[in-house]
Structure 1
């Protein structure tokens, strides 16, 4: 079984943005991880590049959880597979 979208997102946060893996949980918000809206724009660009899906900038905010963002990515991946 391959890595879940959540796992892939965590890996991106750790490898590309130097977020402490121990601080990341499904319920952690980007704000709690000290990641602001500018960071989110950069993250969405990385997600587009690495995972091949485009997420609108206004679809997520610093108050959203890591799991919420993974769900958005999952929905786009599913839509792209149709």
Structure 2
């Protein structure tokens, strides 16, 4: 997996009490039991970590961890 994915998993493990070993690329945020407030917090944390601007719709509960990483990668590449 990409560096962005690995860093995203680390953010989830450090900031949201999830076990890094239990986070799989195809799990959705809702499957990880992250509510809308947690997703807003994740978005803010990811913005600081990756130096990108994320809109509320960029990371949603039905998105997989891999999809979120790709969204962040696109933003860091200036494509999003």
Normalised TM-score (structure 2): 0.89
The separation in 1 between residues aligned to 2:36 and 2:21, in whole angstroms, is 22
Residue 17 of structure 1: how far off its partner (Å): 1.2
Q: Which ranges in structure 2 are unaligned for 5 or more consecutive residues?
A: none
CA-CA distance at 1:60 after TM superposition = 2.4
TM-score (normalised: structure 1): 0.87
Query: Aligned residue for 2:6?
Result: 7
After TM superposition, give the deviation of residue 70 of structure 1 in Å.
0.3
Q: Which structure 1 residue ranges, 4+ long, deviate > 6 Å from structure 2?
A: none
Cα RMSD (Å):
1.4
Structure 1 segments unaligned to the other structure (5+ residues): none
- Structure 2 counterparts to residues 41-60 of structure 1, below 5 A: 41-60=40-59
Instruction: Report which of the two structures shows the higher radius of gyration computed on alpha carbons.
Output: 1
User: Equivalent residue for 2:15?
Assistant: 16
